[in-house]
Amino acid sequence: MDAETMRLLAAALAAGLGAIGPGIGIGLIGSKAVEAMGRNPEASGLVQTNMILTIAFAEAIFIIALVISLVILFSS
């Protein structure tokens, strides 16, 4: 394989593997938040606020992986 192929493969792996963790994490966050709201409906506002904040942090991990992927892709 030449350097261009390796660079494309590395960029694809960085974006793909960087999306797996946050995707699983957001699914777990959402399921546990709905479970918590079902058990204690009075606390649903606090649970929902914390859920949205945690989802934003998980998405930040993917954005960092995407930026790294773009750096790999467009580096010379």
- Six-digit token pair at 44? 């649903």
Q: Domains (ranges, CATH) in the chain?
A: 3-74 (1.20.20.10)
Q: What is the pTM of this model?
A: 0.80
pLDDT per residue of the chain (76 residues) written in tens, 0 to 9: 898 999 999 999 999 999 999 999 999 999 999 999 999 999 999 999 999 999 999 999 999 999 999 999 998 6
Dist CA 51 CA 25 (whole Å): 11
Dist CA 20 CA 15 (whole Å): 9
